Amino acid sequence: MRKLIVFLIIAIMVVVSACSQEKPDKTSHKIPDDFVLVKGGPFMNKKSNYYGEKVALSNFYIGKYEVTQKEWIEIMGSNPSEFKGDNLPVEMVSWYDVVEYCNKRSIKEGLTPYYSIDKNNKDPKNTSENDILKWTVTINAGANGYRLPTEAEWQYAAGGGQKSKSYTYSGSNNADDVAWYWKNAGDKMLSGEWNWPIVENNHNKTKSIGVKKPNELGLYDMSGNVREWCWNGFGDSESNSNSTRVVKGGGWLGDVGELSYLSNFEANGMGPDQGFRVSRDE
């Protein structure tokens, strides 16, 4: 009798083990905890250049934080950043670098890559004399992988989405509440006009993510710390290609500006104040 009971227990354990091994892994398609669902709609932030326009966005997810060096190393295997630290935002990354990151992270998590990257054929729409790469990057329609936010999505999220209180900066009318920028990102608080020797001597640099206050949606550092790459080309909100790419939010090196401020950078450009955050479709 005892042998029969032991045999049954072993048989049950084998069946349970087999079932657990055959059960599909559903966690890879889950949205990470450090992402926020941004409810779509028209722009509510009155300081946005989209306010009052016939522009309404669909729902999307966006990271609460800028991508950190630890996250970058886990996917890319190296750290290009000038200021080293696991919890600091990754910087010194080009637009090409970050679209590759998006695809590699998607593959690692069992998602469909959002981009098709052709490194051999130069993008005919990219006429920049400073960009020697000019990869052709296109969207895989319907893919569920990681991607960069469009400029409109970035501005909508930074401005608080449907919960917007029309702040000048992302989460406050006082830049020091929510942003690391040239006046407060060094040894002491600076004042007066921006001056590079003064900023340099103040040892300004990036700061750990999530230290300042979040905005209305719970997003951190959308004003300041590092400028953030967006998907689209400068001057074309939906283009998948252009000579330069939109960057938003300002960084530790310069001013934060208003949320509607639009800047751009060559896709192969990089700097110690240039990082990004990622998005996904709902």
User: pLDDT, tens digit, for every residue of 140-166?
Assistant: 999 999 999 999 999 999 999 999 999
User: pLDDT, tens digit, for every residue of 178-217?
Assistant: 999 999 999 999 999 999 999 999 999 999 999 999 999 9
Question: Longest Cα pair distance anywhere in the chain, in angstroms?
Answer: 89
Tokens of 52: 């009052």
Name residues whose C-beta falls within 8 Å of residue 234's C-beta, 6 or more positions apart in sequence: 242, 243, 244, 245, 246, 262, 264
Name residues whose C-beta falls within 8 Å of residue 221's C-beta, 6 or more positions apart in sequence: 65, 66, 89, 178, 179, 180, 209, 210, 212, 249
CA distances from 52 to 42, 56, 157, 173 (A): 8, 10, 17, 21
Question: Whole-angstrom Cα distance, residue 146 to residue 279?
Answer: 6
Cross-strand bridge partners of residue 169? 172
Structural domains in the chain, CATH included, are 35-281 (3.90.1580.10)
User: pLDDT, tens digit, for every residue of 160-182?
Assistant: 999 999 999 999 999 999 999 99
Confidence of residue 236 (pLDDT cuts 50, 70, 90): low
Say whether pLDDT at 4 is over 80: no
- Which of 63-77, 88-102, 260-274 bottoms out in mean pLDDT, i.e. has the lowest? 260-274
Which pLDDT does position 112 carry in this prediction?
98
CA atoms within 13 A on the CB side of 59: 5
The average pLDDT across 265-280 equals 97
pTM surpassing 0.85? yes
**53: three-class secondary structure by DSSP:** coil
Which pLDDT does position 154 carry in this prediction?
97
